[in-house]
Amino acid sequence: MRPPPASSRVVTAEEMIAIDRATIARGVPSLALMERAGKETARHIVAWWRSGADGGARRAGAAASTRQPRTAARPSGVTGPVLVLCGRGNNGGDGFVVARHLKTAGFAVRALVAAEEDGLSTDARAQYESCSRGRIPITFLPDPRAWGPGSEAADAASNAAFLVDALLGTGSKGAPRGAVAAAIELAVASGKPIASIDIPSGVDASTGHVEIPAIRADLTVTLALPKVGLRLEPGREHAGLVEVADIGVPPDLAEATRPAILVATAGWVRSLLPRRAPDAHKGSVGRVLVVGGSHGMMGAVAMAGESVLRSGAGYAVAAVPESGVAALEARVAEVVKRPCPETSSRSLARGAIEPILGEALRADVVAIGPGLSRDPETSEVVRELIARIDAPIVLDADGLNAFEGHELRRSHGPLIVTPHYGEAARLGGGSVSDLAHDPIGWARGFATRSGAVVCLKCVPMAVLAPGQPAILNATGNPGMATAGAGDVLTGTIAGLLAQGMDAAEAAAAACFVHGLAGDIAARRQGRRGMIAGDIRDALPAALVALESGALDEEPVRGST
């Protein structure tokens, strides 16, 4: 797989810590890094506040949030006061530097510290002393009760124009405790705009998991490189507008290690799309077999089959229970129907295996799962097809559920799986809540065990191939949370794969195109009322926009 450009890298906490250490080993003093971090963060905060402090209505690489923005209200010409909440570690040290530079910029500033004075880290203590010499009021409040209603801290928060969150940094793990937790609760309860340094306190920088309590920031100024937790929900929703501050990390150090996670860009996806020859015909641009359907679920097959064609493949065949052919015929004309033997519940029976295998011999790609049902006999059919089909396979929906309690591993051809959290938990034998704590980690582990390309329906979607960096999607919106959207994705992946793309590239490109189609559909229909058919119908427009190059020079804006 040709990965996205290194400039699209996002880092885990561990990667950022390693880069910081390498920078210090290169001869850049840690205090100099902290000073640069605080100065640049203060510059971003000043620009944000003076431009209107729009309360998080924007997102880095994302459109307006569904959360109602909190608009900063302040008398004309008045700046501050600003309340900086500091922790005991280096994030708190950054906060002290920010306080100094905000004062220099004309703000009245006060700092509250959720720790004992003698508990500060070495660098944080140096910055605290510098802050004190600058005559900035600083109060240490290590007792959680000192942050409660009616306290001095509560009064300071209620009188502040906005707050700066410098409580916990990227290395923080687990739920906030003690005075830090109390300070977070106070900040959230204040209702004031909040600017976070590096990562909102309570958000896991590596996974996007949010502990309780957690800051819901309006601005996050992240240091040196964007963090994974600012890209993945629910962390992304807590981050508000995200700005990246240059803190002086040498570029070669940031590029020295192989990225673990990259973000898809429009230019990269455009470069992957197959070129269509002038003498192309329907047989030369990809033939896909879609296996699925059951009583009451034929629409899923129709949606997937049409999406195969809308994404550029030339021929789509649907292998479905024989009683469903008439319904499918009435729904879509362009997809060829192959009637197959069915069970008493009108899903695919064991007798369908040989006819499907015959069709698979003529297919470039086989997609299995849309509308399939969880009939036990049909699940047996799926497992045998996976073992016997040689063509690349896209496995979705009840095709995945067929492997609950069974090992899914394929070594004789490409396999792409597209689980949502429930299907992923059934595949891996874990719980949805555990998976949601670290979706990228789960997908990476499953890709390694199964040999499959995993297209995980987290937010944003993530594609992981064994031994390759994870690719986070950059398109889509909450309106795509509608029945049938997954069938459109399955058809889009299969259609691109059938045109000769690498499996991992096809999965990542399809996620991007699918999300872009969803963004186009949302502009046409609105998010609340859009349906999967709107996404399917917008696929050609998404491809036109992508192939034109118009999206290459600017971030694609979506909200999943």
* Preceding amide of 460 cis, omega within 30: yes
The helix/strand/coil state of 67 is coil
According to CATH, the superfamily of the domain at 266-271+288-547 is Ribokinase (3.40.1190.20)
- Can you say how many angstroms the Cα of residue 283 is from the centroid of all Cα atoms in its chain? 36
Q: Which residue has the tokens 């500091």?
A: 86
C-beta of residue 242 within 8 angstroms of C-beta of residue 218: no
The mean pLDDT value of the chain amounts to 92
Alpha carbon distance 296, 74 (integer Å): 57
C-beta of residue 463 within 8 angstroms of C-beta of residue 504: yes
DSSP calls for 459-483 = SS-EEE-TTS-EEE-----GGG-ST
pLDDT digits (tens, 9 = 90+) for 367-421: 999 999 999 999 999 999 999 999 999 999 999 999 999 999 988 899 999 999 9
| N residues, the chain | 560
The one-character DSSP state at 206 is T
C-beta of residue 542 within 8 angstroms of C-beta of residue 513: yes
* pLDDT at res. 515: 98
The helix/strand/coil state of 140 is strand
C-beta of residue 232 within 8 angstroms of C-beta of residue 241: no
C-beta of residue 192 within 8 angstroms of C-beta of residue 171: no
Alpha carbon distance 21, 225 (integer Å): 14
pLDDT band of 325, cuts 50, 70, 90: very high
* pLDDT at res. 79: 52
Element (H, E) at 45: helix 30-50
Token digits of residue 101: 């530079």
* pLDDT at res. 76: 37
Token digits of residue 457: 């329906």
pLDDT digits (tens, 9 = 90+) for 260-311: 999 999 999 999 999 999 999 999 999 999 999 999 999 999 999 999 999 9
pLDDT digits (tens, 9 = 90+) for 95-128: 999 999 999 999 999 999 999 999 999 999 999 9
* pLDDT at res. 53: 62
Alpha carbon distance 70, 74 (integer Å): 12
pLDDT digits (tens, 9 = 90+) for 192-250: 999 999 999 999 999 999 999 999 999 999 999 999 999 999 999 999 999 999 999 99
C-beta of residue 4 within 8 angstroms of C-beta of residue 262: yes
Give 342-411 as a 3 state SS string.
Answer: ECCCCCECHHHHHHHHHHHHCCCEEEECCCCCCCHHHHHHHHHHHHHCCCCEEECCHHHHCCCCCCCCCC
* pLDDT at res. 257: 77
Which candidate, 59, 60, 115, places its Cα nearest to that of 87?
115
Query: Cα dist. 209→13, 86, 200, 233 in Å?
Result: 13, 22, 11, 7
* pLDDT at res. 254: 80
**Nearby residues of 543 by Cβ (< 8 Å), 6 or more positions away:** 273, 311, 312, 513
Phi, psi of 316 (to 5 degrees): -130, 130
pTM for this prediction: 0.91
Token digits of residue 334: 């362009």
- pLDDT at 70 > cutoff 50: no
Query: Mean per-residue pLDDT for 450-454?
Result: 97
CATH number listed for the domain at residues 6-71+78-258: 3.40.50.10260
Alpha carbon distance 279, 558 (integer Å): 36
Token digits of residue 367: 């997609």
Q: Where are the domains of the chain?
A: 6-71+78-258, 266-271+288-547
C-beta of residue 417 within 8 angstroms of C-beta of residue 408: yes
Strand spans (E) along 18-71: none
* pLDDT at res. 80: 62
* pLDDT at res. 2: 85
The one-character DSSP state at 58 is -
Alpha carbon distance 441, 253 (integer Å): 24
pLDDT digits (tens, 9 = 90+) for 496-555: 999 999 999 999 999 999 999 999 999 999 999 999 999 999 999 999 999 998 887 554
Phi, psi of 113 (to 5 degrees): -115, 125
Alpha carbon distance 308, 493 (integer Å): 8
Q: Which residue has the tokens 């299969």?
A: 494
The one-character DSSP state at 324 is G
HSE of 248, CA atoms in CB hemisphere, 13 A: 19
Alpha carbon distance 149, 163 (integer Å): 17
Query: Mean per-residue pLDDT for 358-369?
Result: 98
HSE of 509, CA atoms in CB hemisphere, 13 A: 30
